[in-house]
Amino acid sequence: MAVQAPFRITVTVTGMSCDHCVGAVTEELRALSGVRSVDVTLGTGAVTITSDRELNGAEITGAVAEAGYALAD
Ligand SMILES: [Cu+2]
């Protein structure tokens, strides 16, 4: 049985200023296949994504952009 621990990555999203921003980013990231949870800390812009598969940078960047935000360098 191939049970794999969930993958977890933390990125920094710039420009979020309120709960609406958090909701938009969370919604887009949760739409990616395999994503289990998205945890956003508004004050720092830290976004931790837990998923069943390894996400690639382009899809994370794309989802964040879809919400109207960008990743910090
Ligand atoms: Cu906002």
CATH of the domain at 62: 3.30.70.100
Number of domains in the chain: 1
- Nearest to 25, CA basis, from 49, 52, 7: 49
Q: Where in the sequence is the domain holding 27, given as residue range(s)?
A: 2-71
Measure 3 CA to ligand 1 centroid, in angstroms.
Answer: 38
What local confidence, expressed as pLDDT, does residue 58 receive? 97
Residue range 38-51: average pLDDT?
97
Question: How many residues make up the chain in this entry?
Answer: 73
Measure 40 CA to ligand 1 centroid, in angstroms.
Answer: 13
Give the confidence band of 3 by pLDDT, cuts at 50, 70, 90: low
Give the confidence band of 5 by pLDDT, cuts at 50, 70, 90: confident
Measure 25 CA to ligand 1 centroid, in angstroms.
Answer: 10
Measure 58 CA to ligand 1 centroid, in angstroms.
Answer: 23
What local confidence, expressed as pLDDT, does residue 73 receive? 77
Residue 16, SS3 per DSSP: coil
Measure 22 CA to ligand 1 centroid, in angstroms.
Answer: 7
Residue range 18-38: average pLDDT?
98
Residue 23 confidence (pLDDT) above 70:
yes
